[in-house]
Structure 1
């Protein structure tokens, strides 16, 4: 059982860039049959958040706070620079009060994505730092998301329930996160490895179901927006690349940033918790505002794959240059 569960989780992560867009398309196609189950989404997402938090304890959060400059820098890039550019992009393309602009802004404001942990580890960044940062940012989301959305748009312009959003974030995100951290502490860090063969595969399946059901909920509205998709899709792709670029170049705010820090900040800035964004978009905003967030899930992972290939190429070039330098030194000596 243990072997099969971990193998499935690894297989899912390997093919996420196919499975998630596939779930999105399937949700659109089967909307009539799935729409009745949309109410399950908050519970599915709460479980996903709980499993994410099982790998983080108080020590991880304390260690993150020992690097305040890196934490503040990452959060400013993700929740100040990115939202400003997202709003500017939306206002320039769709207009400042457009629902699509609201969707682009929401994409930039939602918390950092847990999938960034996988990419940071694969590319040579700091896994403990990004994991604790994601957990910290997730717990701050009931304050960050409503505050920033309200700073750019008035309640009248969006016709949304800011207090309801905060309560939902507390229930779906903060409470499961706190339970996960508590379980980590009570088990002395053993809970993640012990539960992984069962918890991880279920979490992956629930992730697909969240995407599937969210897609089903907006499919009836998206059907009449085919013409607009020709503009929305390039805008979403551009915003995703902007977020990654902000992380890469923003890391230079730290004098002589290490490669590890630069990789970590790049993925932290570029990857958002899209599943949470989809839940919030469909629950609190118009169908048009949901479209950029939903589309983000189709392009965020492929973009991460390209960034990873680029980092790998740089690493290989650096390794070859170091070998050539050593060879030349031996020859000259």
Structure 2
């Protein structure tokens, strides 16, 4: 198990690079992940089941004891990102499946990578996990509702099917993981060491599947506009998330956590639902978002960590050269 844990840490350290390399490989050799395309929902279920295995009663106790930043962060996520997505479709004159895909990824719950980024940045990881948990639990209601509100003019929204699929893909594995953890806590504590690696592999497979399904249309004139849209969406999410948390007068670690929770999306869920209910092109924004937010999140977390270390170093460095009297 130690070898698996070490491998998970290695993959986590280089995950952004691996995402880019794997996406590029599947673009040029799309047959590699063709077999994954019909199985993406099962991979996502594995990721959410693993998330459930890591949750305990303490996580929900923490939400109950400190509800304001958790609820504020969750509301900010579900207000800022879908609204931004809708505005970007108007500004860039997007239409059809591409527009629906941008709004879909904007309506997803918080991304699983956000807690890693918050940890690396010196953010409040407990708050990050709490917002991620709550936003995921709310996804079966929030996601179809937001799509009906913002995307109905672009595509037909199968509201009931989306609700049932989100329950099946997100809620059931998550709750099942929590139940298994409660019943077999001692045994599960050993297994959880391998969960980061399992989740990372599953995310890579989903990215490969979406690239494989869309390789012919990924960088056409019609879809190239998605790249700046996704970049603006993510970076604006960070900026507004940070601004909102500052307006709430939250502490610096909490601001970092909410920034990542607002700006980073569960793009794997977006890609899975897009391929199941809309045209394959609707999965392109989620795929690009998955690649980009790992890059931007890594850069932002590194900047914040170095800034914090530099500040701490200055505070602990003794002042020299004082005038002797």
- The two structures share one fold, judged by TM-score above 0.5: yes
Q: Do the aligned partners of residues 331 and 161 (structure 1) sit closer, same or farther apart at CA in structure 2, a change above 3 Å counting?
A: farther
1:247 aligns with 2:246: no
Query: What residue number does 1:206 align with?
Result: 202
Query: What residue number does 2:160 align with?
Result: 163
Of the structure 1 ranges 123-132 and 165-174, higher mean CA displacement relative to structure 2 is found in: 123-132
Structure 2 stretches lacking a partner, 5+ long: none
SS for the counterpart of 2:232 is helix
| 1:1-333 matched pairs, under 5 angstroms | 2-32=1-31, 34-95=33-94, 97-154=95-152, 157-188=154-185, 190=186, 192-220=188-216, 222=217, 225-255=219-249, 257-324=250-317, 327=319
Aligned partners of 2:120 and 2:302 also within 8 Å: no
The answer to which structure has the higher helix fraction is 1
Aligned partners of 1:65 and 1:71 also within 8 Å: no
Aligned-pair RMSD on alpha carbons? Answer: 2.4
SS for the counterpart of 2:235 is helix
Of the structure 1 ranges 132-141 and 309-318, higher mean CA displacement relative to structure 2 is found in: 309-318
Of the structure 1 ranges 241-250 and 179-188, higher mean CA displacement relative to structure 2 is found in: 179-188
CA offset digits 1:138-192 (Å, max 9, x no partner): 12111010000001132x641242211111111111011001112222244x455
Aligned partners of 2:211 and 2:287 also within 8 Å: yes
Q: Do the aligned partners of residues 284 and 21 (structure 1) sit closer, same or farther apart at CA in structure 2, a change above 3 Å counting?
A: farther
Q: Do the aligned partners of residues 160 and 31 (structure 1) sit closer, same or farther apart at CA in structure 2, a change above 3 Å counting?
A: farther
Q: Do the aligned partners of residues 75 and 250 (structure 1) sit closer, same or farther apart at CA in structure 2, a change above 3 Å counting?
A: same
- In 1, distance between residues paired with 2:224 and 2:175? 41
Aligned partners of 2:96 and 2:155 also within 8 Å: no
Q: How many residues align?
A: 325
- In 1, distance between residues paired with 2:291 and 2:206? 14
CA offset digits 1:262-308 (Å, max 9, x no partner): 11111111111111111112212223322211111121111011111
SS for the counterpart of 1:226 is coil
- In 2, distance between residues paired with 1:171 and 1:151? 22
- In 2, distance between residues paired with 1:32 and 1:318? 49
Of the structure 1 ranges 265-274 and 141-150, higher mean CA displacement relative to structure 2 is found in: 265-274
Aligned partners of 1:218 and 1:282 also within 8 Å: no
- In 2, distance between residues paired with 1:332 and 1:158? 76
- In 1, distance between residues paired with 2:43 and 2:256? 30
Structure 1 stretches lacking a partner, 5+ long: none
- In 2, distance between residues paired with 1:181 and 1:22? 34
SS for the counterpart of 2:123 is coil
Shift of 1:199: 4.1
Aligned partners of 1:94 and 1:100 also within 8 Å: no
Q: Do the aligned partners of residues 273 and 191 (structure 1) sit closer, same or farther apart at CA in structure 2, a change above 3 Å counting?
A: farther
Aligned partners of 1:6 and 1:197 also within 8 Å: yes
Shift of 1:36: 4.2
Aligned partners of 2:230 and 2:285 also within 8 Å: yes
Q: Do the aligned partners of residues 199 and 218 (structure 1) sit closer, same or farther apart at CA in structure 2, a change above 3 Å counting?
A: same
Shift of 1:316: 2.8
